[in-house]
Structure 1
């Protein structure tokens, strides 16, 4: 099961590489590709053979560009733990869960289609950060975010994201991250054009951009930290409905500046755009945290 998921991950990653209109052939030895895509040479050979059989490649020469339907669905490329993370974040965002509400392991196990053991393991990770409190009978309590917690989180986020953004800006021109970044930029522009009807789609796009930046760090601890950032920031953005459309539009424009700075490889510009965006995120999170405090005190 795990081996098949890895194969599909590499398959999708190679297809993403082939989408680059500037690329005419897939370069690199099997060993180099295995290192780049973090897989075995056996998996690389299998994926290359499949792409050749499907008419994407002739040898290493690119014959055609992939369409969305050519990619494996994301649910087929993720481990059980990754699926729980994604589904838990979606549940947090769409269930309107408030601080003090219970989180039931058995219920989530049925809802997510994974074992209770996997659910408990994920909740233990969130417990480590103080977001959850364990109770008897497989019940947990969602504790919410205090202003002090938010301040600490923003400080660490600034350190990690600045480091990751600088690292991304120094990647080789042929690195897969640049293909994904161009695609993310195009999707930002499309969303901006249809902001009136689709402004709530911003959360998913925001998550993709920041995950790409953190993954560029190639630091397991930085990438692990992103999980908690993603849940907290998107949860609070969703809870705070005040001026949501205007906030998302402004964030899209900041993202475009950020992306263009990364493409420029100008580290000073990268730092300026990164800090500007992180400061906006800090203000929004603090406002949301303050709103929660007021709501908690309301009769």
Structure 2
């Protein structure tokens, strides 16, 4: 395995997410099916299976792979260990602008960020150019970048687009019917959500991973490169908690998990109208959560 084994660690985490959707004593599919489901090589699948067997999550003997226990938080690699070089730059940048005291109008120097992030100029510049499309930063002459800020107006515009895309994705899921892959994938998340709800006092901080997986199933189902690109920003903004009010995080995550489960329950019984109604309720709550929980920059 290469020195930079972030892809393997990400594959292992995604495999754990998948195993979490299965029942105890349930059999995992073949190695070939796992390579397709997880979009990884057969060599990586075998390395992942070996590790899962070693830590007691599954029992692997020949073609038989049986789930022995549910994955726990300690089984996962930390998020930062699963990131590629460009993703690590993204993480450091978001920490830099959202976790610090930078105000709208702040000048960002490439040379300073290269030193701060430990990245090459080319990798940093590629990220900044890509990220500038969303309006949080803007290029100035002489390699200067200007921080425009995470304002309330910016967040509302972002959420409006998110809602349009996610509703379109949910309609596509419903149109695909109960046998569709996305429909089945959401239903398969029932137990993972119930486990979070049942142990919310201990595991409420694990919900963002489950939340991202839930919404990623919807966006991936559309197979639209532009929506995929947009959801990179959604993931960055909506799953960064550096500036969120932590006081009611436990309750927010419990309510969101219950809303997900309501959608899943409606899908299980095949009630499309009820599923859509619950999903709209969830989006409305997510909008309110964003407005009530984020520390806002002030337009200058």
Normalising by structure 1, report the TM-score: 0.72
Q: Give RMSD over aligned pairs.
A: 4.1
The residue that corresponds to 1:142 in the other structure is 147
Q: C-alpha displacement at 1:151, in angstroms? A: 4.8
The residue that corresponds to 1:123 in the other structure is 128
The residue that corresponds to 1:89 in the other structure is 94
The residue that corresponds to 2:109 in the other structure is 104
Looking at structure 2, the residues matched to 2 and 163 of structure 1 have their Cα atoms a distance apart, in angstroms, of 41
Check whether the contact 2:207–2:257 (CA below 8 A) recurs between aligned residues. Answer: no
The structure-2 alpha-carbon separation of the partners of 1:281 and 1:28, relative to structure 1 and needing over 3 Å to count, comes to closer
Check whether the contact 1:132–1:141 (CA below 8 A) recurs between aligned residues. Answer: yes
| CA-to-aligned-CA distance 1:158-178 (integer Å, 9 cap, x gap) | 122224446398547874984
1:229-268 superposed matches below 5 A: 229-233=234-238, 245=247, 249-250=251-252, 252-265=254-267, 266-268=271-273
Question: How many residues are aligned here?
Answer: 284
Structure 2 unmatched ranges of 5 or more = none
1:217 aligns with 2:219: yes
Structure 1 unmatched ranges of 5 or more = none
| CA-to-aligned-CA distance 1:110-146 (integer Å, 9 cap, x gap) | 3333323222222112211222112345432111256
Q: C-alpha displacement at 1:37, in angstroms? A: 0.5
- Match of 1:217, SS state, is helix
Structure with greater helix share of residues: 1
Check whether the contact 2:28–2:65 (CA below 8 A) recurs between aligned residues. Answer: no
1:58 aligns with 2:69: no
Q: C-alpha displacement at 1:25, in angstroms? A: 4.2
Looking at structure 2, the residues matched to 161 and 186 of structure 1 have their Cα atoms a distance apart, in angstroms, of 25
- More displaced 10-residue stretch of structure 1: 265-274 or 145-154: 145-154
1:13 aligns with 2:52: no
The residue that corresponds to 2:40 in the other structure is 39
- More displaced 10-residue stretch of structure 1: 125-134 or 257-266: 257-266
Looking at structure 1, the residues matched to 146 and 244 of structure 2 have their Cα atoms a distance apart, in angstroms, of 21
| CA-to-aligned-CA distance 1:96-121 (integer Å, 9 cap, x gap) | 43211233333333333332322222
Normalising by structure 2, report the TM-score: 0.72
The residue that corresponds to 1:158 in the other structure is 163
Check whether the contact 1:16–1:176 (CA below 8 A) recurs between aligned residues. Answer: no
